[in-house]
Chains A and B, each alone.
Chain A
Amino acid sequence: MHRTKFFDHVILLAGVFLMIAPVVVAFMTSTHAAAEIHRDGLMLTWGGHFDETYREVLTRQGGFTGKVTGARMVMNSFILGIGFAAGKIVLSMLAAYAIVYFRFRLGVVFFWMIFTTLLLPLEVRILPSYEVMTKLGLVNTYTGLIVPLLASATGTFFFRQFFKSVPDELLEAARIDGAGPFKFFIDILIPLSRTMIAAIFIIMFVYGWNQYLWPMLMTNDESFYTLVRGIKQILLVWIGSQIPDYNEAFAMAILAMLPPVLVVVIFQSWFIKGLTESDK
């Protein structure tokens, strides 16, 4: 019995090592100087250049136009992550409320029209989506960055499932007390959904923050770059340089992963609940 438990721990520790070691190495290496990394390879120890490297990455005006800083990219990433999560929650709660709590003729039609969006990920319709965005003049705007991503119906389905699980008696009681659709929504349904809203917010924030392809197409003005979008620029600048700025690349990677990882770790239980229940 004890031996099997011992091997269980060995396997789990190996798994943890496999998952975490690359991240730790990335962080440790980012604290060394570029020349040092070029000479000695990746690092497992603290390098002592943490302050200057991260300050450099966050405040230096870089890029082709020389006006975008790391701090600006951090801000853009937050705008995309939070804007996307908030937009998703508002749109999908309203739509799910209409579908579940109202009797109207086109209800089923709308339901299927929203449902269909789950069939096609953004990746298969990038080119026409891009053309639509140019026609609407939304290239290089925050609207163009955020709103088209809201077109998928994941959130709507999640709230639909949740609203359906809310006991019917609540609505009956509320109606007897004279509550209308607005009052019921604001005073009963939203407070009931608080945990669900938090869970969805976390998942969507991570999803929005991590977007890559869409920001890459929608923004060629560097002042709209997000951190994840900026990764590609690092690599393109790299080609042909003598000693690549390994340290700064790693620092960017660490900055780009830190907020979503922290959010997931801190709000772990909500996040797991939301993830495993929404995707059913």
Chain B
Amino acid sequence: MKRTQFSSPVLPYLFLLPQMTVVFIFFYWPSVQAIQSSFYLEDPFGFGSTFVGLSNYTDALGSGEYLKIAWFTAVFTIVVTFLSLSIGLLLAAKADGVIRGSSSYKTLLICVYAIAPPVAGLIGMMFFDQHIGPFVKLAAWAGWDMKVGINYYDTAFAMIVVSVWKQIPYNFIFFLSGLQGVPVSIREAAAIDCRSPARRFRTVMLPLLAPTAFFLLVINMTYSLFDTFGIIDVIVKDKAANNPITLVYKVYMDGFRGNDIGGSSAQSVILMIVVFVLTVFQFRFIERRVHYN
């Protein structure tokens, strides 16, 4: 905190008022409502609701469908996180090494960051389209009868490809700025001690990148859990029938298509707990990192 501060009986409250109003109306109120309605069974026609205790939770956690979706979400999150982190790191390491054309590479590699997930999903759908999609033709040529939107695994494949594609630039930006933050003196000292660039990268640069990587790990997991909503929605188009979906998409489907308010809220609360754990993990880590610096 600052050594000197203003003191005023009114001003700080006045300055905080707009932010706090928004936070209260659009964050605390709905969050409390989510928790509250997760304990109730709402009448679908709007005639009141009954307290049912934890049964919305046990219904969700006990249903095979929910567990299947949770399993898919976990696999999806791990695969997307792993692929987009490693491709991002590879490209950043190479972009950090070259001198000629490095700024053009950078510009071209980051611009996909600005594309909205559903727009990325739409482009992806065209590439995986039954009639015009080059990927489908390519797969057919290799003997793979790809049916995105009909076959469970093919749809999952398309979702992963699009989600990874969309996330690579973000990881690239952070890895590159992490690499460029490594002091020249350390690079020179490493170059004197070790001739192999690959080994140098592994033993010197990678440990220095660890904080960035951990930070990105959490960010990529939240991305796969939540921000891929647009991609998934465009690919499955409200027909979850035989398609893989993530937990967030199920919250949306149950709440807005199925009108199961209690069940949807209970699922929301379960997700809140997941995010909460992830965030606490992240902040503990960041505390440590600040300590190092």
Contacts and interface: CB of A to CB of B under 8 A. Distances in A.
Contacts of A94: 15-16, 18-19
B3 interface: yes
B116 A212 contact: yes
A41 B129 CA distance: 10
B200 to A, nearest CB: 12
Interface in A1-28: 4-5, 8-9, 11-12, 15-16, 18-20, 22-23, 25-26
A83 to B, nearest CB: 13
Contacts of A99: 12, 16
A279 B279 CA distance: 13
B137 A41 contact: yes
Nearest to A184: B6
Q: How large is the interface on A (under 10, 10 to 19, 20 to 34, 35 or more residues)?
A: 35 or more
Nearest to B226: A123
Of B112, B234, B279, which is in contact with the most chain A CB atoms at under 10 Å from its CB? Answer: B112
B23 A26 contact: no
A12 B105 contact: yes
Nearest to B277: A119
Interface in B251-265: 251-252, 255-256, 261, 264-265
Given A22-B165, A129-B30, A212-B230, A104 B13 contact: yes
Interface stretch (B51-59, B90-98, B139-147, B202-210): B90-98
Nearest to A255: B119
A156 B23 CA distance: 12
B111 interface: yes
Contacts of A153: 19, 23
The dominant DSSP class at the B interface is helix
Contacts of B271: 123-124
Interface string A113-127: 110111111011111
Contacts of B169: 19
B217 interface: no
Contact of B16 (A98, A213, A234, A239): A98
Interface stretch (A55-63, A192-200, A264-272): A264-272
Interface in A127-185: 127-132, 136, 147-148, 150-153, 156, 164, 168, 171-172, 175, 181
Nearest to B273: A124
A9 B123 contact: no
A141 to B, nearest CB: 14
A47 to B, nearest CB: 14
Nearest to A261: B114
B255 A12 contact: no
A123 B229 contact: yes
B126 A246 contact: yes
A280 B36 CA distance: 34
8 contacts: A41-B131, A92-B19, A99-B12, A126-B255, A127-B251, A127-B265, A235-B237, A264-B110
Interface of A: 4-5, 8-9, 11-12, 15-16, 18-20, 22-23, 25-26, 29, 37-38, 41-42, 90-92, 94-95, 97-104, 106-107, 110, 113-114, 116-121, 123-132, 136, 147-148, 150-153, 156, 164, 168, 171-172, 175, 181, 206, 209-213, 217, 228, 231-232, 234-236, 239, 246, 249-250, 253, 256-257, 260-261, 263-265, 268, 272, 275-276, 279-280
